[in-house]
Amino acid sequence: MRLWQVLGTGVDHTEVDHILGRGIALANTPGQFSAVALAEHALLLILCLAKNLRESEANTRIGRMYQPVNDELPGQLLGIVGLGASGRELAARARALGMRIRAVDVASVADDELSRLGVERFDGLDGLDDLLAASDFVSLHLPLNAETQHLIDERRLRLMKPTAGLVNVARGRIVDEAALAAVLREQAIRGAGLDVFGQEPLRADNPLLQLDNVVATPHVAGVTRGTSQRRSRVCVENALRVLRAQEPLFVIRR
């Protein structure tokens, strides 16, 4: 075997050390290939929370009209945790809707790019607590690794405003789900829009599925025809490059 190709971004389900230790090239299809899909889905979940979709559906089914009172997005502060490819695509779309934007990331971002995206404040991860406390919506766009697992724990969840919503289209284990369920049950925050979970597929008794202030989708943010086509082209190109004794694209070295 000469190439182990990951048909996606995350390698948290891949035996990275074993593969690299055997001298096999390891490559993925990084965030740029699913960025639009993830950004659109994050925006969908933000809108579901702002427009109280689940309550509206329930009211419609029992004939309760003109309720609830919903919110508009212009002027709302969106905190983006991870300003990589999908975070930037979300920022561009949120800005078009009149939202204000703050972001944090471990990697620096050029000032001209921050200006283009309309990011009014950018910090390293040491600014995460301030971002959580100030934001009306928080959207997670980080990879899962030892540093980011349960990055959003109970202490950080309780920094958020009671009117704020949390969106996660990245990886489930970035959030402490037990703590999130407790905070949502208490209505200490407005709600959560979740496309990813710590254990997939979900068990029917997952506490998050029992809550009316959770909008849940089955890890489909990146499952679009466009994403699949872009990723497939890279996989084909990498197979051809290996056959031509060339280095694959998007190689992971550690």
Domain boundaries, the chain: 3-32+224-243, 35-216
Q: How is residue 165 written in tokens?
A: 């919503």
pLDDT of residue 241: 97
Q: What are the residue numbers of the active site?
A: 171, 200, 219
Instruction: Read off the amino acid at residue 216.
Output: A
Identify the band that residue 10 occupies on the pLDDT scale cut at 50, 70 and 90: confident
> What are the residues facing 167 on neighbouring strands?
139, 193
Three-state secondary structure string covering 116-152:
HHCEEEEECHHHHHHHHHHCCEEEECCCCCCCCCCCE
- Alpha-carbon gap, residue 167 to 42, rounded angstroms: 7
Spatial distance between the Cα atoms of 178 and 184, rounded to a whole number of angstroms:
10
Q: Domain 35-216 falls in which CATH fold?
A: Rossmann fold (3.40.50)
Q: What is the pLDDT of residue 19?
A: 96
**pTM: predicted TM-score of the whole model, two decimal places:** 0.93
pLDDT in tens, 177-211: 999 999 999 999 999 999 999 999 999 999 999 99
Quickly tell me which residue has 């996606």 as its tokens. Answer: 8
